[in-house]
Amino acid sequence: MIDFSLPSELADLQARVRRFVADEVIPLESDPRQGAHGPDASLRAELVERARRAGLLSPHVAPEYGGLGLSHVGRALVFEEAGVSLLGPVALNVFAPDEGNMHLLEEVATPAQKQRWLAPLAAARIRSCFCMTEPAPGAGSDPSMLASTAEPDGEHFVIRGRKWFITGADGASLAIVMAKVPEAGATMFLAPMDAPGIVLERNMDTLDRCFPGGHGVVRFDGLRVHRNDVLGEIGQGFRYAQVRLSPARLTHCMRWLGAARRAHEVAAAYARERHAFGQAIGRHEGVGFMLADNQMDLHVARLATWHAAWVLDQGGLGLAESSRAKVIVSEAVWRVADRCVQILGGQGTTSETVVARIFADMRAFRIYDGPSEVHRWSLAKRILKGLPE
C-alpha cells in the first residue's frame, strides 16, 4: 500500500504558511501601494519583514543563506500555500524571477559570486532580473536566435543588445545577462543594474501586475563585465538556462495552483450563497458542473506538480517532464480561473473579489517559460523519435 501522508514536519510547515498568508498577507491585498507594475518597495519590505519574523523567508534556499533548504516536494507544499495570495510569494521571497535566480546561483555561481549576490537575495535585501528574452529578430521561444553579443576585451567582455519582458528589471540590483560570445556561444554574465551601459528604456504595460518591478525593456550599450563575473563557464549559457528554467517552470505551477485554489474557494462560496430560480446557483447543473470540473482540474494539476517535484528530488527533472507539467498545470489553472469568473457573473469582472485579479495575472502563465505550443511540439518530437518519457 502506498503511503501518501505527509511527514509531520512538512504538514506543520504547510499549516504555518497557510495561517501566515491568511493572517498577515491577505489583509494587505487592498493596500494602495500596488500599481500597474506590482507592489512598491515599501509594501514589499513590509511583507518580507512579516515573513522574516515568522521564520518563513526564502524557504527554498540552503540554511547557510538563511533558508529552510526545502526539497522540491516541500516547495510544492509551501509555494502553493504562498500562492493563495498574489502577495504571498512576494512575502516569502519565492516569487519570480528571484526564486529561479537564487536556484541558479546556488547551482552555478562561485563562492565569491554567492557571497556578493546570493546572500543578499536570500535575505530579500535586493531584487534581481534575468535578461534573456529579446524583441524580434532576437531570441524568444527559440533561444538559438540570441542576438545580444559579448565581445572579449582584455579582462572584460563588452555586451551589446536589447532585451524585453524582463521581469523585475525596475528596481533590481542584479542582472543575469545572456549574451553570445564569438566562437564560444551563449554565456551568462552577472552585472549590477546601476552599471554604466545598462539602460532601462521603459516598463511594459501587461495584463499581470503581481511581479515587483513589472516587466521592462532593457538595453545594453557597451556594458563592461569582468571575466570574474561570468556565471559558470563561457559558452554554457543554454545549459545553465535549463538548470534555471526547468525547476522554475515547476515552481510557477506551484504558486499558480494556490491562486487557482483561492479563486475556486471564492466561487464555491458564492455558488452556495447566491440564489436564482428558487435555489442556490450551485445547485443548478450549469454552475455545479463547473465547480466539479474545477475540483478535477485542481486535482490533476496538483498530481502533475507533485510528481514532477518528486522526480526532481530523485535526481533531476528532464525536459519532457518539465514541459508536460508546465502545459498540464498552466492550462488547468487557467480553466479554473475562467470558470470562476463565469460562476461569479458580473462580480467576476470587478475588483469586488480577488478572482478578476487572479484571472488577469494568471493568463500569461500559458506563455512565459515557453508557450504551451512549443512544449507540445517538443513532446511530439520525442514521441516520434521513440524517446522515453
Output b/e per residue, 37-53; b: 16+ Cβ within 10 A. Answer: bbbbeebbeebbebbbe
Q: How many domains does the chain have?
A: 3
Q: Are residues 213 and 250 part of one domain?
A: no
Q: What is the CATH number of the domain that holds 304?
A: 1.20.140.10
Strand positions, DSSP E, the chain: 34-35, 38-39, 128-131, 149-153, 156-167, 174-181, 185-192, 198-204, 215-226, 230-231, 275-276, 279-280
Print pLDDT tens along the chain (389 aa).
556 678 899 999 999 999 999 999 999 999 999 999 999 999 999 999 999 999 999 999 999 999 999 999 999 999 999 999 999 999 999 999 999 999 999 999 999 999 999 999 999 999 999 999 999 999 998 999 999 999 999 999 999 999 999 999 999 999 999 999 999 999 999 999 999 999 999 999 999 999 999 999 999 999 999 999 999 999 999 999 999 988 899 999 999 999 999 999 999 999 999 999 999 999 999 999 999 999 999 999 999 999 999 999 988 767 788 899 999 999 999 999 999 999 999 999 999 999 999 999 999 999 999 999 999 999 999 999 998 76
Q: Of 200, 234, 268, at which residue does a domain stop?
A: 234
Please say which residue of 73, 95, 117 terminates a domain: 95
pLDDT of 3 reads: 66
Whether residue 159 lies inside any domain: the answer is yes
Is 121 part of any domain?
no
Residues 271/281, Cβ–Cβ less than 8 Å: yes
Same domain, 220 and 246: no
Are both 66 and 17 inside the same structural domain? Answer: yes
The answer on 85 and 160 residing in a single domain is no
Which residues does residue 162 pair with via DSSP β-bridges, in sequence order? 219
Q: Are residues 71 and 164 in the same domain?
A: no
- Same domain, residue pair 242 and 378: yes
Cell of 145: 536566435
Q: Which domain holds residue 352?
A: 238-385
- Going by the DSSP 8-state scheme, the letter that residue 96 receives in this structure is T
- Same domain (yes/no): 78, 174: no
Q: SS3 for 125?
A: coil
Q: What is the pLDDT of residue 2?
A: 56
Cell of 224: 563592461
Predicted confidence at residue 251, as pLDDT, reads 95
165 located within any domain: yes
Question: Is there a domain that residue 260 lies in?
Answer: yes
Q: Is residue 101 one of the residues assigned to a domain?
A: no
| 252 and 362 housed in the same domain | yes
Burial class (CB in 10 A: 0-12, 13-18, 19+), 173: middle
- Please check whether residue 318 lies inside any domain of the structure: yes
Q: Which of 46, 73, 95 is the last residue of a domain?
A: 95
